[in-house]
Structure formats: structure tokens, C-alpha cells
Structure 1
């Protein structure tokens, strides 16, 4: 699948292929930011990011020839995180063990509260500014489906922001 991306973005990604260390420096902060938006458990973020980079290192000869290696990296990381989360859910004996009271506040907590597909799509599109075609490729869905997930997430987040603002105004009035 060939995606339409502004020339600067393509050249920036191509520059990350000069060496694996350059690839790592370019993508690791973006990958960990994306993963943090997906889960409140920081241990998973670091582990999944490292495992994804190890997989990239193992396939470096193939990735060097890829047009968009970032898509491959994010797809691997997304799949890995889903598997880790599923395994954790199987190991939980109650819902209380799954809920972390310190999940964070504000927008990040709201993003983490979204359904999985919406959370993934909005993080890729709005936080990391991937083009919609890349979001669809990473999530392995069609472009219209990816756009639907992003739009639903945006609507839900807008509603949460309005609710927080209304509560804040109510507290000030009291």
C-alpha cells in the first residue's frame, strides 16, 4: 500500500534508515509516546517498545528496503501490546486488579479511557500525526474504518472536555 505523505515526512523517514541507531533515535520517542497513550502500565510501554525495536533490529536488512519502516514498527508494537494486555486480562482475578487509580489526569487519562481501537486510532492520527492511510495500515483496517475510529474518539474526547469544563465552572460558582 503506497501512501501519500508530504515530501518532508518521507525524506525524514528515509533519513532514519541510514543506520539502526538513527532509526532507533527517530522512532523510539514516538513509539513510547504512542504506547503510553494506550496503557496506564508504564512497564508495558518500555517492554513493548524495546521488544518492537529488537524485532526491527532482527529484520534490519529487510527494513532498510521498506518504503515506510515506521508503519511496520508501529504495527508490530500495536500487536505486541494487544497480546500483553490480553495475557494480563487472563491473569486478573477481578476487575479491581485491572483498574489503576493513578492512571493519570486530564487528556491522557481520557484517551486511556477510550475503547481500544479508538484509542489507537486517535493516538496515531492526532498525537503522532500519521496520515490516515498509515493509521489504517498500522491498525490493519480500511481507511474509512480508521477514520470512523478517529472521529468517534474525537467526539467522545470533546464530550469529556466539555464535562470537565462544566464541572470546573460549577466548582468556581460554589
Structure 2
């Protein structure tokens, strides 16, 4: 194929049609703080959230050649962050159950002081509800994006959000939960 007197290969033509890819450092700077917030909301632990967000971004970096060409690479890293957060929460709960079996009640660590009643209540929700609440309220994500990130239908995402709100209203009182 000739373009303005220069021979252009088919591969070069295809590359010109693609939008420019974002660099990983730019992606990291934009997405990392958001991933920490999501991981904190889902895991209920800010210190652990930073590690989880780092791990999600490390996985994005390892697969950047593939992730960068996704239409929305941020959705991919959100899904990884949520999966890691849910897994960490399950591991922590299992570890606590093991500690309860082998420890004296007086030897158990004190629970962390929560500085925000609402997010403490969110941390008690089931995983998908926590994730839906975090994505909706922290990032103002529409239902369709929440569904895509959670890999569920839009109707199921709405159900997770509704049930999460209901549980929060029951725990906190309806005046503290906005619909």
C-alpha cells in the first residue's frame, strides 16, 4: 500500500489505526490511589489495602502489553484489586478463627479502632456488596461498569448494591445511608 509516496506495510497501517497506548507510569499514577481506596473499602484495613493495591498494579505491570490494549485497563485492575481484597479478607477471617481455637480469650488482639462508622459497617458486608458499594460511592461508577468489573449482570450488580444499602440502613439507620 502506498501513502504519500511511502511504502507502508499492513502492520504499520494497523498500528496507525490503534489509539496511542498509555504508559504504565501514567496509568499507575492515575489508578493507584483509587485502587487503595477500593481495597480499603473491601478489606476494611487501610494498611493491607496499600499492599493489595501494589499487588494489583504489579500484576498489571507484568501483563502491561496485554492490559494496555484493553478498552478500559482500569476495569481490569479494579477486578484484580477486588479479587485480591476478597481473598485477603477470607484469609484473615480464617486466620482469626484459627487463633480463636488456639488462643485464650484474653490473649486475642484488640480490634482496630474504626474512624468511620459507615466504612466499618461496609467492611461487615459480604464481598460483592462491599465491592459494589465501594465502586458506586468511592468512584461514582455506573451500574453497568460495576457489573463489568464484578463480572456479573447489571441486574445482579443492582441487587448487590441494593442489598448492601439495606444492610447498611439496618446497621446504621436509614438516615445515614443515601440511596
**Which of the numbers 93, 96, 100 marks the counterpart of 1:94?**
100
CA displacement at 1:22 relative to structure 2: 0.9
Unaligned runs of 5+ in 2: 1-18
Partners of 2:69 and 2:175 in 1: CA distance: 47
Instruction: Provide closer, same or farther for how the CA distance between residues 99 and 147 of structure 1 changes in structure 2, counting only shifts above 3 A.
Output: farther
Write the distance in 2 (CA, Å) between the matches of 1:163 and 1:71: 31
* Greater mean alpha carbon deviation, residues 34-43 or residues 19-28: 34-43
Q: Which has the larger radius of gyration?
A: 2
- SS of the aligned residue for 1:122 comes to helix
Query: Does the CA-based 8 Å contact 2:42-2:86 persist in structure 1?
Result: no
Q: Which residue number in structure 1 is paired with residue 128 of structure 2?
A: 117
Note closer, same or farther for the CA distance 1:65–1:23 as it changes in structure 2 (3 Å cut).
same
Secondary structure of the residue aligned to 2:173 is: helix
TM-score between the two structures when normalised by the length of structure 2: 0.73
Instruction: Give the CA deviation at 1:77.
Output: 1.1
Residue 57 (1) aligns with residue 45 (2) = no
- Does the C-alpha gap of structure 1 residues 101 and 53 become closer, same or farther in structure 2, counting only changes over 3 Å? closer
- 1:152 pairs, out of 152, 158, 163, with 163
Q: Which residue of 1 aligns with 2:72?
A: 68
- Structure 1 length-normalised TM: 0.75
SS at match of 1:66: coil
- The answer to whether the aligner puts 1:27 opposite 2:34 as a matched pair is no
**Which structure exhibits the higher relative contact order, with contacts defined as CA atoms closer than 8 Å and separated by 6 or more residues?**
1
**Counterparts of 1:27 and 1:159 in 2: how far apart (Å)?**
33
Aligned residues: CA RMSD? 2.6
1:132 and 2:143 correspond: yes
Distance 2:51 2:128 in 1: 21
Gaps of 5+ in 1: 1-13, 166-174
Report if the CA contact (8 A) 2:38-2:82 is conserved: no
Name the CA distance, whole Å, in 1 between partners of 2:41 and 2:113.
Answer: 14
